[in-house]
Amino acid sequence: MTPERFRQILTHADRSLSGCAWRVALETIRPFYALGVWWRNRQFDRRPGKIFHASVPVLSVGNLTLGGTGKSPAVRWFVREFQRLGLKPAVLSRGYKAKKQAQADPGETLNDEGREMARLLPGVLLLQNPNRCASAEKAVQDFGAQVLVLDDGFQHRKLFRDLDVVLIDAEDSFGLTGRLFPCGTLREPAAGFRRADVLMLTHADRLSPRERHTLREEIDQRFPAEKTRLWVETVHKPAGFVDAAGNPVELAKDGRFGAFCGIGKPEGFFRSLEEFGVTQAETKIFPDHHAFSASDVSALAEWREKNAFDALLCTEKDLVKLPESLKACALRIELAFLSGEEELKKRLTNFLDPPGV
């Protein structure tokens, strides 16, 4: 099932007989998923001895919903901030579909997000392993990491984190339909916001200041924090185009372009292009974390030639999986703050050097 079909089924846009059958099936599955989530969280809440403590501070960047909320630019911001403070950080991630992508691109051990991160954070240790407790030990003991950044780690509660940063997409604050998977896109109930130390609103510019204030009040009232919680507002700012080698590329914004991507929220990428002033003549959508085959690359090259595009545009996560011969360009995205940046930096200082320690 494609993400678009899944979305149509959940929102009742698909009113076909098969769509109705799918909704009945998903409603049947949902209580079992909810019970599993509840039981797992309960075990960690009541049995803290199950949680592994690393010997260095751990910061987690995660979210409550399926699909992209812009974690990669946020992770890069934290890593660079730790480097600015003179520390040696390591990024720990699960490495989703790394083996499958390695089959399509032999010699690579990192998945698309890892390869993108490696290019944008040269020299930073990146470890991908579903067992992030093992990664944490390896990062510290074998490589001398002084702080660990857990990428997409809010639900990975087996590894203790000293600071939990939870990202909220301004346009998808409580997930599609506001319900738990598989009847919505919440990974866990929204009550999980209570565990967060920092709530980072991403794509905040897509809401008015009043709407952002209302959202913050709603979360504070419905899910009061277990501890002092910081609220920050950010935007994902286009920083220009780069080629397959990561070099800046100048493109005429009034050119004729074909845009494609294989990410969780493709509409967000296409909108970013439009906000940057680029109009796409045509678009193509691939599944999230898609491993581009030789036939995919040939089809994209044929698509470009047939439509006489000035360039093919994609995300950096896609570009690292494509050969230079395709001559595609990626829109580089960086995190920028609308509010809360200085407060967040102070929180990081306390996180690294807590009072009384």
61 with 198: CB under 8 angstroms? no
pLDDT of residue 98: 55
DSSP summary character for residue 176 = G
**What is the length of the chain?**
357
d(CA 328, CA 264) in angstroms, rounded, equals 20
d(CA 216, CA 259) in angstroms, rounded, equals 34
193 with 215: CB under 8 angstroms? no
79 with 91: CB under 8 angstroms? yes
- Give the residue with greater pLDDT, 240 vs 68: 240
For residue 154, the SS3 value is coil
Neighbours of 177 (CB within 10 A): 14
CA 234 to chain centre: 14
Q: Encode pLDDT of 103-154 as tens digits.
A: 455 456 788 888 889 989 999 999 999 999 999 999 999 999 999 999 999 9
> Across-strand partners of 238?
333
d(CA 300, CA 286) in angstroms, rounded, equals 12
Over residues 4-26, the mean pLDDT reads 91
Exposure class string for 189-206: b at 16+ Cβ within 10 A, else e: bbebbebbbbbbbbbbbb
54 with 145: CB under 8 angstroms? no
Q: Match 């920050």 to its residue by tokens.
A: 232
pLDDT-derived band at 354, boundaries 50, 70, 90: low
Residue 327 has pLDDT above 70, yes or no: yes
Beta strands in the chain (DSSP E): 58-63, 89-93, 125-128, 147-151, 163-169, 198-202, 230-242, 248-249, 257-261, 280-285, 311-314, 329-339
d(CA 347, CA 232) in angstroms, rounded, equals 12
Q: Which residues contact 353 (CB under 8 A, 6 or more apart)?
A: none
Nearest to 253 by CA among 219, 226, 279, 221: 279
> In angstroms, how far apart are the furthest CA atoms of the chain?
66
Report strand pairing: 125-128 vs 230-242: unpaired
Q: Encode pLDDT of 65-80 as tens digits.
A: 987 778 999 999 999 9
Nearest to 316 by CA among 238, 220, 251: 238
pLDDT-derived band at 357, boundaries 50, 70, 90: very low
In this prediction the pTM is 0.89
Chosen CATH of 50-237+335-352 out of 3.30.420.40, 3.60.110.10, 1.10.3720.10, 3.40.50.300: 3.40.50.300
pLDDT of residue 266: 87
d(CA 288, CA 107) in angstroms, rounded, equals 21
Q: Encode pLDDT of 183-220 as tens digits.
A: 999 999 999 999 999 999 999 999 999 999 999 999 99
Task: Point out the least confidently predicted range of 89-98, 240-249, 284-293, 322-331.
Answer: 89-98
Nearest to 98 by CA among 83, 111, 86: 111
CA distance readout (Å), 51 to 67, 110, 178, 194, 340: 26, 26, 29, 19, 30
Nearest to 111 by CA among 93, 91, 131: 93
Nearest to 91 by CA among 128, 49, 123: 128
Chosen CATH of 239-333 out of 3.30.70, 1.10.150, 1.10.10, 3.40.50: 3.40.50
Q: Which two tokens stand for residue 164?
A: 């939990």
Tell me the residue type at 52. F
